Amino acid sequence: METIRAFIAVEIDQPNKQKILDLISDLKKSEADVKWVTQDQMHLTLKFLGNIDKIKIPEITDAMRSSAQDLTSFTITFSKIGAFPNLNHPRVIWIGIDKGAENLKTITEKIETGLEKLGFKREGREFKPHLTLGRVRTSKNMPELTKLIKEANFSSEGEIQISELILFQSTLTQKGAIYTKIGTAALKL
């Protein structure tokens, strides 16, 4: 059995990736100990699958297509910057979704239902649409990072069109994760 690490996500456009990189650059001025995402790692995860048998890729892709077949493409916009579990004790820094959040929740629920039939466990917590900016490693310079997050004024570079679901393979390397598309499912236009 050959396994790969995989997840299902939607991508964002280049202008928004650039705007997010500019935001990360500003947040890095805090010199906090955070593993920031790179441009190639920017996406909105809908379902993390973990290690899967490669032989299941066609089944997963079919479940994605089944989930997407009745859904129409839509647009999203970003909202505020936040942190899990909260800004006082951040572990994950993120940008939330404003417009389109309900659409993302609907898609995620359909994906969860489709994958449950294939033996994947449902996510135990409520889905909160977000794009991860970075993961906090230590508390170094945390007050400064929190201050910069609270001062940051971020909004989308226009609306972002969401028209397909993507199955990604995640390969962990010393320089960070490398994501490779291994399946897609188009939403109706």
Range of the domain at 83: 3-186
Number of domains in the chain: 1
Predicted pLDDT at 52: 96
Both tokens assigned to 35? 């593993």
Residues 83, 74: Cα–Cα separation, whole Å: 26
> Whole-model pTM?
0.92
Given a cut of 90, whether residue 1 has pLDDT beyond it is no
Instruction: Write out pLDDT tens, residues 86-117.
Output: 988 899 999 999 999 999 999 999 999 999 99
State the average pLDDT for the chain. 94
Sequence-distant contacts of 104-109: CB under 8 A, at least 24 apart = 104/10, 104/44, 104/46, 104/76, 104/129, 104/162, 105/129, 106/71, 107/46, 107/67, 107/68, 107/71, 107/165, 108/46, 108/47
Secondary structure string (H, E, C) spanning 106-132: HHHHHHHHHHHCCCCCCCCCCCCCEEE
Exactly one of 129, 130, 166, 185 is catalytic; name it: 130
Instruction: Check residue 104 and report its DSSP letter.
Output: H
Both tokens assigned to 36? 């920031």
Given a cut of 90, whether residue 171 has pLDDT beyond it is yes
Percent residues over pLDDT 70 in the chain = 100
Predicted pLDDT at 176: 81
CATH number at residue 61: 3.90.1140.10
User: Which of 32, 173, 155, 8 minimizes the C-alpha distance to 90?
Assistant: 32
Instruction: Write out pLDDT tens, residues 27-58.
Output: 999 999 999 999 999 999 999 999 999 999 99
Given a cut of 90, whether residue 11 has pLDDT beyond it is yes
Exactly one of 17, 43, 47, 110 is catalytic; name it: 43
Measured from the Cβ of residue 9, the count of other Cβ atoms closer than 10 Å reads: 19
User: Which of 13, 18, 1, 46 minimizes the C-alpha distance to 184?
Assistant: 46
Helix, strand counts (H, E) of the chain = 4, 10
Residue keyed to tokens 């066609």: 58
Active site residue 89: no
Given a cut of 90, whether residue 174 has pLDDT beyond it is no
